[in-house]
Structure 1
Amino acid sequence: MTIDSDADADRERLRELIDELAVVRGRVTLSSGREADYYIDLRRITLHHEASRLVGRVMLRMLDEAGIGCAAVGGLTMGADPVATAIMHAAGAEDRAVDAFVVRKAQKSYGMGRQVEGPSVEGRRVVVLEDTSTTGGSALTAVEGVRAAGGEVEAVAVLVDRDTGAAEHIRETAGVPYLYAYSKSDFGLE
Structure 2
Amino acid sequence: MPGAREELIAHITEKAVFHGDFILTSGKQASFYVDLRRVSLDHRVAPLIGQVMLDLIAGVPGVSAVGGLTMGADPIAAAILHQGAARGVPLDAFVVRKEPKDHGRGRQVEGPDVAGRRVIVVEDTSTTGGSPLKAIAALEKVGAEIAAVAVVVDRATGAREVIEAAGYPYLAALDLADLGLEA
- The one of 20, 26, 30 aligned to 1:32: 26
State the SS of the aligned residue for 1:84: helix
Partner of 1:92: 85
State the SS of the aligned residue for 1:130: strand
> Are 1:150 and 2:149 an aligned pair?
no
Partner of 2:43: 49
Partner of 2:11: 17
Post-superposition offset of 1:31: 3.0
Deviations 1:153-175 (A, max 9, x none): 100000000011110100112x1
Give the fraction of aligned pairs with identical amino acids, expressed as a percent. 53
Q: Distance in 1 between matches of 2:112 and 2:71?
A: 17
Query: Structure 1 length normalisation: TM-score?
Result: 0.92
Letter in 2 for 1:184: L
Post-superposition offset of 1:34: 2.6
What number of residue pairs does the alignment pair up? 182
Post-superposition offset of 1:32: 3.3
Letter in 1 for 2:14: E
Letter in 2 for 1:177: P
> Are 1:159 and 2:122 an aligned pair?
no
Deviations 1:65-112 (A, max 9, x none): x33441100000000000000000000001221111000112122111
- The one of 102, 105, 108 aligned to 1:109: 102
Query: Structure 2 length normalisation: TM-score?
Result: 0.95
Partner of 2:116: 123
Which structure shows the bigger proportion of residues in helix conformation? Answer: 1
Post-superposition offset of 1:58: 0.3
Question: Structure 1 residues 164 and 85 mapped into 2: Cα distance closer, same or farther (>3 Å)?
Answer: same
> Are 1:70 and 2:66 an aligned pair?
no
Partner of 2:53: 59
Q: Distance in 1 between matches of 2:34 and 2:141?
A: 31
